[in-house]
Amino acid sequence: MAISVYILKNSIVKSSVKEYLQMKEEVKIKKKLARQQAREEATPINIEELKMKKDLRTVFVSDSDTAEQALSLAGISYEGEVKLEDIEFCKVEAQQKCLCGTLHIPKLSDPVGPKIMMYFFVNRKNIVIIDDEGFGEKVIRRIIASRTKPGQSREKFLYNFCVKFMDQDLVNLGRYGHKIMQIEEDINNGELEEVTEKIAQLRKELLILREYYDELHDFGKQLEENENRFFSGKNLEYYGIISDRADRLMGRTMYLLDYIVQIRETYQGKVAEQQNKNMEFLTIISTIFFPLTLITGWYGMNFNNMPELANGYPGVIVLSLVVIGIIIFIFKKRKIF
């Protein structure tokens, strides 16, 4: 993957590395001419204005293969090794010369499956985004397509970047809510097949999302702390918004997890009710056949002095029917039937 270069202006301007280097050289020449002109005119040099003119706030997007080149172009010195496969959390690490962040994003279509793993690095001028799936590039395209102005600051760009990959999460959680309601409806209709598997799968996915939103909440707080003073204080409120949004998503996820617990209890109640009905049926059958078993056992002994030994068969049948009738009458009177 070639390195993509985005210049932060009122809207993102994309260029190649070659164009970026040319622009950087032009800015350097303009700076030199401005200093020379100021000396010739014997006018004081406005350092702050000169800084604003010379700054090229840039976002470099690369993959693992071109990561070192992108960091070099951005003037970022990272004290570590860039290994996307080692990313396990969303976090921010402050170093002396840069800010390093990692993103470990579950795919909304399959939270349990492989995650999207990204690095981003920030110094006082530039941002470098490293990922092997082209996700960072897609997010930036979505920012451009939505006509969202990323602003001239790194703070506003990072804010828009994070908000853009979080913008479908609430809709996704809404889909989880509909799935849980459908399971509840199936349970109430007595359709209990595969309910346990469905509940277990949804709970697993929501636990992964809850952990992810918790990490994002801390991620926003860490950016807001601005430990290295890389960000302008007036723009730190953007990161508070990221933290608040992650907190709301986590709250929604917690609500869905509680809902799943209630559905599971409803399911267990339905199963227990079904088992009770089965046991009640077996008890009724046992109650009916117990006296019949006693009668057949009694008359099956075949003693010589039994008066019914010769012609007792019809009598036993009548007695059995009478006993069954009495039992059914008692059951109906007590509303067991």
pLDDT averaged per 10 residues in sequence order, the chain, 337 residues: 76 79 74 63 50 67 90 87 90 87 93 93 90 90 73 80 91 94 88 87 95 94 84 82 94 95 88 80 81 77 66 74 82 71
pLDDT at 48: 46
- The token duo for 124 is 């006082």
Question: Which contacts (CB < 8 Å, 24+ apart) does range 29-38 have?
Answer: 30/54
d(CA 158, CA 119): 13
Burial tier of 104 (Cβ tally within 10 Å: 0-12, 13-18, 19+): middle
pTM, entire model: 0.76
Residue of 24, 282, 6, 296 whose CA lies nearest to 141 = 6
H or E element at residue 58: strand 58-62
- The token duo for 306 is 């039994």
d(CA 211, CA 104): 11
Sheet with 99-105, side-by-side order of all strands: 13-15, 4-7, 58-62, 126-130, 116-122, 99-105, 91-94
pLDDT at 87: 92
Tokens 């933290």 locate to: 243
Strand partners, 128: 60, 121
pLDDT at 152: 62
Query: How far lies 314's CA from each of 5, 308, 311, in Å?
Result: 102, 10, 7
Please, how many CA atoms are within 13 Å of residue 114, restricted to the half-sphere of its CB? 8
Q: What share of the chain is helix, strand, coil (3-state, %, to 5)?
A: 60, 10, 25
pLDDT at 207: 95
Question: What is residue 96's three-state secondary structure?
Answer: coil
Asked if 107 contacts 115 with a C-beta cutoff of 8 angstroms, the reply is yes
d(CA 113, CA 93): 26
